[in-house]
Amino acid sequence: MKLILAVVQDQDSNRLSNALVDNNFRATKLATTGGFLKSGNTTFMIGTEDIRVDKALQIIKDNCKSRDQMVAPVSPMGGNADSYVPFPVEVEVGGATVFVLPVEQFHHF
């Protein structure tokens, strides 16, 4: 058994959730915040059998796309202003960051 942790952008959350349900995967959704852009993410915790991991990963890949977004940087309060860029920059956001972990035991009460 494996535990899949998938951190996805909020824009992809509902689409991924529906696709997981359509393919009989149970998932727990957690509201999370990214450290770099300080924007909302959703972290999915998916427990599944080893033989279904590849299917789950394909569903995540198909439903979580990266995109470019303009971001206004936060000014450095008391930090080093040498690297501060005072105008919006385009960054790639979205996609999914996925961890697949072994599960030693699983209980459902």
Nearest to 11 by CA among 50, 57, 69: 69
What is the distance between the alpha carbons of residues 59 and 52, in angstroms, rounded to a whole number?
A: 11
Question: To which H or E segment does residue 22 belong?
Answer: helix 10-22
Higher pLDDT, 3 or 72: 3
Read off the pLDDT of residues 94-103 as tens digits, 9 standing for 90 and up: 688 999 999 9
Per-residue pLDDT tens for 41-94? Answer: 899 999 999 999 999 999 999 999 876 666 666 555 555 555 555 677 666 566
The answer to whether residue 8 scores a pLDDT higher than 60 is yes
Buried b (16+ CB within 10 A) or exposed e, 72-103: eeeeeeeeeeeeeeeeeeeeebbbbebeeeee
Question: In this structure, what DSSP letter does residue 73 have?
Answer: P
Question: Given this model, what pLDDT does residue 80 score?
Answer: 57
pLDDT of residue 41: 87
Question: pLDDT for 19-42, tens place per residue?
Answer: 999 999 999 999 988 765 566 789
Contacts of 82 (CB under 8 A, 6+ apart): none
Q: Say which DSSP state 64 is in.
A: -
CA–CA dist 8, 13 (Å, integer): 7
